[in-house]
Amino acid sequence: MSGFSLHELFRADAEAQLAVLNDGLLALERDPGAAAGIEPLMRAAHSIKGAARIVNLELAVIVAHAMEDALVAVQAGREAITAGRVDQLLRGTDFLARAAEQDEASLAAWSEEHRATAEVIAAALRAPAPTSPTSTEAETVAAAPANTAAAEIARVDRPLAPDAGTRVAEDQAPLSSGHPEGAGAGATPGAAATPSDGGPAVAKTTSPAQPPSANGETARSSAAPVATTRGEPVRVSAERLERIMQLSGEILVAGRRFESLRQTAQGIRDALTNASDGLRALFNASAAQGEVSPAEQTVAAPLLHELAGARTAALRHIEGLEELSRRIEELSSALSHAALGSRMRPFGDLSAAFPRMVRDLARQLNRRVRLDIVGTGVHVDREMLSRLEAPLTHLLRNCIDHGIEPPAERVTAGKPEEATITLSARHHAGRLVISVADDGRGIDAARVRARAIERGLVPESIARDLDESEVLEFLFLPGFSTASEVTEISGRGVGLDVVQSMAHEVGGAVQVRSKPGAGTTFTMTLPVAVSVVRATIVEVAGEPLAFPLARLERIVRRPSDELTTVQGRLQFDQDGASIGVVDAATVLELGERAVPDEVFTAVVVGGGRQRYGLLVDRLVGEEDLVVRTLDPRLGKVPHVSAAALLEGGDPVLIVDTEDLVASIRQLLGEGRTLGSSRPAPGRVATPGRVLVVDDSATVREVERQLLTRAGYLVDTAIDGVDGWNALVAGRYELVVTDVDMPRMNGIELVRRIRADARFASLPLVIVSYKDREEDRLRGMEAGANAYLTKGSFQDETFINLVRDLIGAPTA
Amino acid sequence: MTINERRPAMNEPHASPAIREERDGRDRLRILLDRDVPPNELAEQTRLVARRPEVQIEQPVALLLMVLGHERLAVEARWTSVVARLSAIRRLPHQQSPLVRGICNVGGRLVIAAHMDRLLGIEREREPGPAARFVVLEDERGPWALEVDRVDGIRVEDAARFIDPPATVSHASARLARAMAPVEGGAVTVLDAPAVLGALAGALT
């Protein structure tokens, strides 16, 4: 066995069975008539009971046993399944999950502490099924019993028969409930129908003498970590998986070296052939002229023979090498793909937990909700999947708590009583698109606007001019909530900013669209970038660079005389449009451009009217790259999104095309031409010119208007990277920046600016919603001259500060 | 196989002088190894092998010995994770730190490469030759690939015999040198690995 303890085996087993219970119970509740659905649930409860017994998890045995009995009663038709019973069964499932989570060291203490809870759950399951589920909701919050066990249940459970608690404590003996359960493993009946029963089978797994089990399921559970069934996930640390991927890539690279070995061997064979043929010809010619003595013949013949033999041997050797090289290449390529594939998991792995959560929450809030999940089979990078859990949980909670009306209100509005939330995942244009849509009441933009003004986030005069999509952006600000009362579920101000920051962290975006009365849709557009990307490789200043194909318009190779200068800008014509051209080496600060040949090669990036050509040295090829994040110690490297290893094993940087387009726009916008992108040190700033950096269009607009009204000239940038590019290209007297921004945050931007001698004395102001002292300190430490909160827009603080720093505008 | 099978036997008259010499050498070696060892010689050899080293090592420390330019350097082996053949180093756009060379592939890992020569103020007159290697230094913050001209292996030395670096050592390396270690063939500058890693980490901020 591979170092897994029995308890770990139990955990793995329980996890799978609990998932069956969870899903099955929800399905059963939706369709109580489906008696066929009960069988697998009974089996699952039964399996957990058996496994728990093996690891001496007595409390789990108690609860699983009671669950099994309750399910048996339903199956036998002695009881109808009710929502109340399903609740109890789900509570049992939760309890089992918690039991499985405990580590072995703390298990005894945990068991001691939770014995009463287990008994209460079991007793409730043995008592007649509660019939009026909704009546209990109020009671759950109202009464807070003093005793811990009861209190724990109270969060989730309904009232119990007062005497129920004590009765089941020793309940290990089978109840004659009609289910064929022997007291011990010896009497395992109907092996195929009752999987993984039988403690002895598992307990003896270390014994080599253990005969093969007739029951496939038992065999599986006894060797769980080694021989898992197809499609069943196993636990592997992400780090180890990453290492496997790296090594499989290395094997691929090493395998390719065979080719050069083969070529060398081929050279040797050719040399041997030449030498052998030449010698033989010479010898034959000499012999024909009678110049070879018999003694010489005796010596030369075997030598010539040996030479011919060496040639043949070399040939065979080369054939062997060739075959081995091909085989290794096939295998290592397959290994590499398999390792890569192991990073991907179906979206369903994550979404499986949501129906339960939605159901519980909806019941708690007296809503009727159906959750439709679309795209469970969509493959998502493991990393992305784990990052998505918190934001999606939040969005779903948000839907139920804020979006969906109570059933009566829905009926009045002419909608079906049952609301629908659709969670969908799909790949679109090289991005992973995840959306959460409800058919609830929608978001009242006027209320959001009013709230923003009330909270001092935006002056009223400006708020009036914001359109609906701009107004909805306020929802993503930390601490922003329109909920009139704080509920337990949401509205505490811990909000949608979680969703936005996750999206930003991975280089994606969130969008909200809402139609009052009809519903709200949140859409997250995320890169699939944590996995594989097909890219075009070009060379710039001797360095290979990868441009993701999805972001690349085209590559052009044209005679250099088609490159013309129009109004001081280099450009060429493409499909009747003029495409501005810049030199990649200059933009990326990798060196100066090589002297153009007769032909130039340009990568066209951007789209629509904003297409630009980047002059590169040459086109290298196209490859599927396994994307690796750059070492986080490097921070955000401008114009680079990630790195990868090329087929030959050399590193390559993957270009952040959007970032690059933004830089080119800035460069060309400044009317500067090729090769002069670096502004002269010590250049003079344009008086009164301010750069505003913020990812929120609303805040940008607010700041722009405030500054413009005061007479300053304002340019805006949408994040740190964009801000830096603008700063390098432009001439500013002051930079005003937000802190929380995608790609490069405000603190990183301030540090970067301060680290550059050109901007050592440039005044920098941070304006953020974060108002804690430590945030302020962090900003000042990075090198900001001032740190304001966004409330400062309300009064003159902001403008006064700007005047203090750079004086009133002269114009 | 084919060649050997058809090769004339060694004792054939036309066997070359070189082949004959090799055969004679092998025979002599066999005779030497197969002979019985005289009892006194065996005892003598056993004593020799079992003898404790004359010099006791008080504070053993494993050093990775290397050469950069004209300097002989060492670093405690526990700070090094890999010694690898050189591979391409890719420069990073907009890189402003003079110490950061770029990123390189070391055993499938992407590692930041640094200018060891600039860090230590050591001049390298030549391009790296075939003996040049990456030495990867690593602490909890992460790995750094440093190019050196040669790696001479790992030796256990006695830290008690280390001496302070002389005042004449250039400024940059003085800050990063921990001591001088007397190693056969002269003294070696033992680098202070945490200080080197600290200086490199500082180059990134």
SS3 assignment for A304-342: HHHHHHHHHHHHHHHHHHHHHHHHHHHHHHHHHHHHHHC
**A605 Cβ partners below 8 Å, 6+ apart?**
A547, A551, A552, A553, A611, A612, A614, A657, A660, A661, A664
- Please report, as a single letter, which amino acid is at residue A93: T
At A508 the pLDDT is: 74
Q: Mean pLDDT across chain A, nearest whole number?
A: 77
pLDDT at residue A232 above 80?
A: no
At A670 the pLDDT is: 43
Any idea what the Cα angle at residue A639 is, between residues A636 and A643, rounded to 5°? Answer: 70
B15 vs A445: which has the higher pLDDT: A445
Q: Does B140 touch chain A (CB under 8 A)?
A: no
- Each residue's pLDDT tens digit, A165-175: 333 333 333 33
CB-CB neighbors (< 8 A) of A635 in chain B: 204
Only one residue has tokens 């119990």, namely A160
ipTM computed for the complex: 0.73
- Each residue's pLDDT tens digit, A364-410: 888 999 999 999 888 888 878 888 988 999 899 888 988 899 999 99
Q: Does A104 touch chain B (CB under 8 A)?
A: no
Cβ atoms < 10 Å from Cβ of A737? 28
Report in angstroms the alpha-carbon separations of A357 from A354, A624, A760, A780. 5, 39, 52, 43
Task: Enumerate long-range contacts of A262-271, CB under 8 Å, 24 or more apart.
Answer: A262/A318, A262/A321, A262/A322, A262/A325, A265/A314, A265/A317, A265/A318, A265/A321, A266/A318, A268/A314, A269/A311, A269/A314, A269/A315, A269/A318
At A346 the pLDDT is: 87
Strands lying side by side in the sheet with B109-114: B80-85, B133-139, B142-148, B109-114, B100-106, B89-90
Only one residue has tokens 């109890």, namely A88
Residue A282 φ/ψ, nearest 5 degrees: -60, -45
CB-CB neighbors (< 8 A) of B13 in chain A: none
Cβ atoms < 10 Å from Cβ of A86? 20
CA distance A645 to A658: 22
CA distance A508 to A658: 12
Mutate to test the interface with B, among A650, A655, A659 (most CBs of B within 10 A): A650
Which DSSP string corresponds to A266-277? HHHHHHHHHHHH
Say how far residue A46 (Cα) sits from the centre of its chain. 36
Percentage of chain A with pLDDT > 70? 79
pLDDT at residue A700 above 70?
A: yes
CA distance A271 to A803: 83
- Of B134, B87, B109, give the one whose Cα is nearest residue A247: B109
Could B105 and A650 be called an inter-chain contact, meaning their C-beta atoms sit closer than 8 Å? Answer: yes
Could B2 and A650 be called an inter-chain contact, meaning their C-beta atoms sit closer than 8 Å? Answer: no
Could B112 and A637 be called an inter-chain contact, meaning their C-beta atoms sit closer than 8 Å? Answer: no
Beta partners for residue A618, in sequence order: A539
CA distance A398 to A403: 7
Beta-carbon-side half-sphere exposure of residue A811 (alpha carbons within 13 Å) = 10
pLDDT at residue A354 above 60?
A: yes
* Residue A344 · residue A386 · CB < 8 Å: no
pTM of the model: 0.49
Q: Does B128 touch chain A (CB under 8 A)?
A: no
Q: Does A307 touch chain B (CB under 8 A)?
A: no
Report in angstroms the alpha-carbon separations of A567 from A197, A338, A580. 83, 54, 11
For the residues A741-748, what does the mean pLDDT come to? 83
**A668 Cβ partners below 8 Å, 6+ apart?**
A569, A580, A582, A612
How close A772 comes to chain B (CA, Å)? 24
Structure tokens at A373: 């999940």
**Which residue of chain A comes nearest to B111, CA vs CA?**
A631
- Of A744, A734, A613, give the one whose Cα is nearest residue A667: A613
At A221 the pLDDT is: 38
A115 vs B96: which has the higher pLDDT: A115
* Residue A380 · residue A346 · CB < 8 Å: yes
* Residue B181 · residue B77 · CB < 8 Å: no
Nearest to A639 among B8, B93, B96 (CB): B93
Q: Quick one: pLDDT band at residue A671, thresholds 50, 70, 90? A: very low
Mutate to test the interface with B, among A256, A272, A298, A633 (most CBs of B within 10 A): A633
Q: Does A250 touch chain B (CB under 8 A)?
A: yes
- Each residue's pLDDT tens digit, B130-172: 899 999 999 999 999 999 999 999 989 889 889 887 766 555 6
**A651 Cβ partners below 8 Å, 6+ apart?**
A643, A644, A645, B88, B90, B102, B103, B104, B105, B110
At A159 the pLDDT is: 35
- Class of residue A576 by CB neighbours under 10 A (exposed 0-12, middle 13-18, buried 19+): exposed
Strands A569-574 and A564-566 turn out to be antiparallel
pLDDT at residue B8 above 80?
A: no
The alpha carbons of chain A give a radius of gyration, in whole angstroms, of 35
Q: Does A329 touch chain B (CB under 8 A)?
A: no
For the residues A598-621, what does the mean pLDDT come to? 86
* Residue A522 · residue A503 · CB < 8 Å: no
Beta strands in A543-660 (DSSP E): 543-548, 552-559, 564-566, 569-574, 577-583, 599-607, 610-616, 618-626, 640-645, 651-655
* Residue A506 · residue A387 · CB < 8 Å: yes
* Residue B113 · residue B147 · CB < 8 Å: yes
CB-CB neighbors (< 8 A) of A650 in chain B: 87-88, 90, 105
Could A633 and B141 be called an inter-chain contact, meaning their C-beta atoms sit closer than 8 Å? Answer: yes
At A523 the pLDDT is: 93
Nearest to B94 among A312, A633, A637 (CB): A637
* Residue A643 · residue A541 · CB < 8 Å: no
Q: Does B112 touch chain A (CB under 8 A)?
A: yes
Cβ atoms < 10 Å from Cβ of A722? 25
* Residue A117 · residue A153 · CB < 8 Å: yes
Could A637 and B92 be called an inter-chain contact, meaning their C-beta atoms sit closer than 8 Å? Answer: yes
Structure tokens at A70: 């309750």
